[in-house]
Amino acid sequence: MPSSGERAGGSWVVFLVGPTGVGKSALAVKLAPHVSGEILSADSRQLYRGLDIGTDKPDRSVRRRIPHHLIDVADPDQPWSLAEFQSAARSCIDDIHRRGRLPLCVGGTGQYIHCLVQGWIIPPAFPATDLRRKLAERADREGAAALYGELEKSDPDAAARIDPRNVRRVIRALEVVLSTGKPFSAQRRRGPVGFQPLLIGLSLPRPDLYRRIDARIDRMLAAGWLDEVRALLAKGYSPDLPAFSALGYGPIARHLQGEMDFEACRAEIRRATRRLIRHQANWFRTDDPAIHWLTAGPDAEAIALRHIRAALAGIRPG
């Protein structure tokens, strides 16, 4: 039988996808020992050092027991582009395969997952221009929602896949549209993927997921989330950095700076998390035939293992 990551025709990569808080990382940790797996984070905020509690990073004891990749690889003032993630993730996947092990790519950042699964050829970044500066000034003056509304009109496909809170990405998409006269979404081409993807989705009914999320937020706050953000600010990291667009970090920074009380801060984190869950549904659709959806719960591990073992054995997963 081929090694864990291999079968005739290519090497497998398992993608565990779904909304934030549904239990993807916990499932990956359970699966990894059974399939000689190593975990590759596809979370756009876990890559930052110091953002631990709010991004729900696996603790260090888990990471010592099971190899994890692309966690704690940048400081908060070192933003990573999608192209940088794609390059680093492909290198990790190749290295894991060379060692005869199986990559388990885990995360809810839709662009990160899709750029790997679909082999995106990412348009080159434009150099810093007056246009970018003017768009940034408009965002400061008119608010991020104004720019996002313009993107919705000029390129609705791109807008549907961009979090409105991510001003940097909204500006990037508008910059491409206004510079080229073509939709940002139409300029993304696809190349060879280089592996066999198996997508397993984890889901919960929305009311159950919201209850789980609310409880998780309270646990994070009790675990010292405010102190974590306070320490980042004390190190001189600006709350305007893209890293602070990670769920909760912006509201907590505003609370610590006296701009909102604690209850308003917690309520905003809950609202933002619900918005993110709805946004993630645009990337990971429950009617997508490429994704094998499982309900989070006691049976998920066994069912996921059956899908993975079938794939490694060359049997089309059912």
For residues 16 and 83, membership in a common domain is answered with yes
Contact indicator for 277, 208 with CB cutoff of 8 Å: no
Using CA atoms, how far residue 102 sits from 12, 35, 39, 209, 294, in Å, is 7, 7, 9, 29, 20
- How far apart CA 48 and CA 9 sit, in angstroms, is 35
pLDDT at 161 over 80: no
For residues 115 and 225, membership in a common domain is answered with yes
Per-residue DSSP letter, 235: T
Distance of CA 265 to the CA centre of its chain: 23
For residues 100 and 206, membership in a common domain is answered with yes
Helix (H, G, I), strand (E, B) or coil at 103: strand
pLDDT at 7 over 50: no
| Helix ranges restricted to H, 72-143 | 82-98, 110-117, 130-142
Confidence at residue 247, expressed as pLDDT on a 0 to 100 scale: 92
Residue written as tokens 């953002």?
Answer: 51
pLDDT digits (tens, 9 = 90+) for 217-264: 999 999 999 999 999 999 999 998 889 989 999 999 999 999 999 999
Domain range spanning residue 271? 12-121+190-312
pLDDT at 140 over 70: yes
pLDDT range class, residue 183, cuts 50, 70, 90: confident
For residues 198 and 305, membership in a common domain is answered with yes
For residues 100 and 198, membership in a common domain is answered with yes
Using CA atoms, how far residue 127 sits from 130, 150, 176, 183, in Å, is 10, 22, 11, 18
For residues 153 and 292, membership in a common domain is answered with no
Task: Tell me whether residue 42 is in a domain.
Answer: yes
Task: Tell me whether residue 318 is in a domain.
Answer: no
Total domain count for the chain?
A: 2
Q: What is the CATH number of the domain that holds 245?
A: 3.40.50.300
Task: Tell me whether residue 317 is in a domain.
Answer: no
For residues 78 and 176, membership in a common domain is answered with no
Task: Tell me whether residue 226 is in a domain.
Answer: yes
For residues 215 and 281, membership in a common domain is answered with yes
Task: Tell me whether residue 3 is in a domain.
Answer: no
For residues 146 and 229, membership in a common domain is answered with no
pLDDT at 90 over 90: yes
Contact indicator for 291, 301 with CB cutoff of 8 Å: no
pLDDT at 56 over 70: yes
- How far apart CA 117 and CA 266 sit, in angstroms, is 35
Confidence at residue 265, expressed as pLDDT on a 0 to 100 scale: 97
- How far apart CA 204 and CA 295 sit, in angstroms, is 6
Contact indicator for 37, 28 with CB cutoff of 8 Å: yes
Q: What is the CATH number of the domain that holds 164?
A: 1.10.20.140
- How far apart CA 134 and CA 146 sit, in angstroms, is 13
For residues 25 and 69, membership in a common domain is answered with yes
For residues 28 and 155, membership in a common domain is answered with no
For residues 276 and 308, membership in a common domain is answered with yes
Task: Tell me whether residue 155 is in a domain.
Answer: yes
